[in-house]
Structure 1
Amino acid sequence: MTGFAAKGIQGSSIFSLNTINENRGVSFAGGGDDGICTIPNMIGRYNPHILGPSRGDHIVEYCGDHPELDNLNAAQSGALAKNLDHQLDYLLPAIKSYPGIDLDNDWKLINVLIGYVDSCDSCVLDIYSGNNTELYESYVDKALERIRASIPRVLVNLIGISNVGDIISRTANQKYCQPFPFTSVQVNRYLCLCTHHDDYHQGLASVVEQINDKLHGLSEKYNALNDESFAVMYSPSPVNFSSFPLEAISQLIRAFLSDIDCFHPSTKGHEWSARATWKGMFLPKDERPNVLNWDDIDMDQVYCPTELDRFQV
């Protein structure tokens, strides 16, 4: 959750260095910029001493990091499941040395969102031959076991993915999604390789479904251990993209998708995702929605947990 492209085109043209910024402070699962609805900021409403949210903006990164801004947000743009190990190489030592953390007694929430790039490349990557997602599962499983063995008192939130093929279909021929002047080039078709294959739509949907099944299965596997110091939550993300507005809502608030690439969420999209994920974290597993429409989430309100509420694993 790097927040890439979240703030959209800044100024009159896409041709700006700001276009390739990660806006980490507005990341729905890891950001901590003031005035933005994110999961860390909602936790901060109840615990103002929360540590580790990412702040501000910086140029896109793939293998590097900016600890002074990233803090405990170890996400990498363009990462595959196999890159989780690299992200943990940054995150685990950072947690252990982070000022103010009582490693043995403080609870840590680690949000994991991985699989969008895997699904988008599944038609060309050998590891997904035949739409097989066993290796994906093994990478996530290995990451969970590494966290469990390294850090006490952790809740890992595995966030499910949606079918990005639906984004491409929803945004086809939309001027909002054609940021380059004098051309109708639609950037998002080049960010998800498998959408170039018209006959692969069902294959892409199958991979997305399998990835979510694997994430759900891993949460069940680790929770069956009854480890008092480690738990895994699965937060499904069954987003119905056909219900989302595409036109800019005002001069200050953009639609759900960034107008840079119509693929990554805008700031408003991150805030919508934060509200949806946060609310779902308190719902029993069998009450979490099968479909999420835009109007299902009230953008003027946030779910306020009661004293009896607990995160549901």
Structure 2
Amino acid sequence: MVEQADLLLDRLRNQEICDWNNDWKLITFFIGGNDLCDFCTDMQKHDPANFVGWIRDTLDRLYNANLPRTLINLALVLDVRPAKELKNGNFICGLLQKRACPCAAYPTEEQEKILNEWIPQYQQGVVDLINSGRYDGRDDFTVVVQPFMAKTVPPRKADKIDFSYFSPDCFHFSGKGHSVASLSLWNNMFESVGTKKYSWHQGEGFECPTQDHPFIYTSKNSI
């Protein structure tokens, strides 16, 4: 991840994507699902402390690069345990998820117990990192936890998973799923810290800035 941050910084500086000093930049982190899907292949690599450490090192790189006018959305990792049911969408789904998400789609009893422990540890570790104030030393850089995926479960229709929200592999989102996830991220941004919704804003409209609060919520302006 640090290498990706370096690549982003290089592009922002040198490829005229934006005005480094004057443009506001919105960066969104949405990671961790693949780590949980593969945790049983290398438990030391994917343990919660390492996961939080990768995020910390990457945020440190962006923060210490003096990247100005930057808001980072840090989406909490999604709960991958529904992969165990999603794999039953069809034969192809079951086959693909043996490769894409084996530790959640085909877990042993012991691996299920570990997932039950690690998912909240992944999420809380990130929350604790941001709440530590590590990235609060500047007025033109902030990191905000957006928890809209933390407790999201697959939508259901007639008591069965509604696979219209998923691509043909029954794991990644379809266009319909992406649209709801995007709306949920947007609405999280306009919910104050401490009142943000932890699941999809399904069936809701877009939140908009108001005259009383015309800004994206951060830890500082949520008080």
TM-score bracket for the superposition, by shorter chain length:
0.7 to 0.9
Number of the residue aligned with 1:137: 52
Are 2:133 and 1:230 equivalent residues in the alignment?
no
**Residues of 2 paired with 1:309 and 1:277: CA distance?**
17
Which residue among 209, 215, 221 is the counterpart of 1:310?
215
Residue segments in structure 2 that go unaligned for 5+ positions in a row: 219-223
Structure 1 residue 156 corresponds to structure 2 residue 72: yes
Shift of 1:128: 4.9
Corresponding residue for 2:108? 198
Cα separation, 2, equivalents of 1:125 and 1:262: 24
The CA deviation at 1:256 is 1.2
Name the aligned partner's letter for residue 99 of structure 2.
Y
Q: Partners of 1:190 and 1:100 in 2: how far apart?
A: 36
Letter in structure 1 aligned against 2:16: P
Question: Which of residues 184, 192, 197 is equivalent to 1:276?
Answer: 184
Indicate conservation of the 8 Å contact 2:39/2:103, yes or no. Answer: yes
1:257 equivalent in structure 2: 166
How many Å apart are 1:173 and its aligned residue? Answer: 2.8
In the alignment, the residues of structure 1 paired with residue 44 and residue 70 of structure 2 have an alpha-carbon distance, to the nearest angstrom, of 30
Which among 164, 168, 189 is matched to residue 84 of structure 2?
168
Question: SS at the partner of 1:187?
Answer: helix
Q: Following TM superposition, by how much is the alpha carbon of 1:272 offset from its aligned partner in structure 2, in angstroms?
A: 0.5
**CA distance in structure 1 between the aligned counterparts of 2:145 and 2:208, rounded to whole angstroms:** 20
- The Cα offsets for residues 273-296 of structure 1, whole Å up to 9 and x where unpaired, read as 011111011112221224x26xx4
- Counterpart CA distance in 1 for 2:152 and 2:16 is 41
Provide the rounded CA distance (Å) in 1 between the counterparts of 2:177 and 2:71. 25
Alignment CA distance shift 1:173-1:121 (3 Å): closer
Count how many residue pairs are aligned between Structure 1 and Structure 2.
210
Which residue is 2:221 aligned to? none
Query: Do residues 298 (structure 1) and 198 (structure 2) align?
Result: no
Asked if 1 retains the 8 angstrom alpha-carbon contact of 2:156 and 2:162, the reply is: no
In structure 2, distance between residues paired with 1:185 and 1:163: 18
- Cα contact 2:72–2:142 (8 A) shared by 1: yes
Letter in 2 for 1:232: V
Alignment counterpart, residue 267 of structure 1, candidates 175, 180, 205: 175
Distance 1:94 1:194, change over 3 A: same
- Conserved 8 A contact 1:163-1:204: no
CA change 1:158–1:86 in 2 (3 A) is same
Match in the other structure for 2:153? 241
Contact 1:110 1:156 in 2 (8 A): yes
Q: Which residue of 1 aligns with 2:28?
A: 111
Aligned-residue offset at 1:214: 1.6
TM-score, scaled relative to structure 1: 0.61
| CA separation of 1:162 and 1:303: change in aligned 2, threshold 3 A | same
Q: Contact 1:168/1:189 (CA < 8 Å) preserved in 2?
A: no
Q: 1:268 to 1:238 in 2, by over 3 A?
A: same
Note closer, same or farther for the CA distance 1:287–1:240 as it changes in structure 2 (3 Å cut): same
Distance 1:89 1:287, change over 3 A: same
Give how far 1:97 is off. 2.1
RMSD: 2.3
> Which of 200, 220, 225 lines up with 2:131 in the alignment?
220
Find the residue that maps to 2:26 and give its secondary structure: strand
Structure 1: any 5+ residue segments left out of the alignment? 1-83, 249-254
Farther-moved stretch of structure 1 (233-242 vs 133-142): 233-242
- Amino acid paired to 1:143: T
How big is each residue's C-alpha offset from its partner over 1:108-163, in whole Å with a ceiling of 9 and x where there is no partner?
A: 1110111111111222214258xx41121111111101101221221111111121
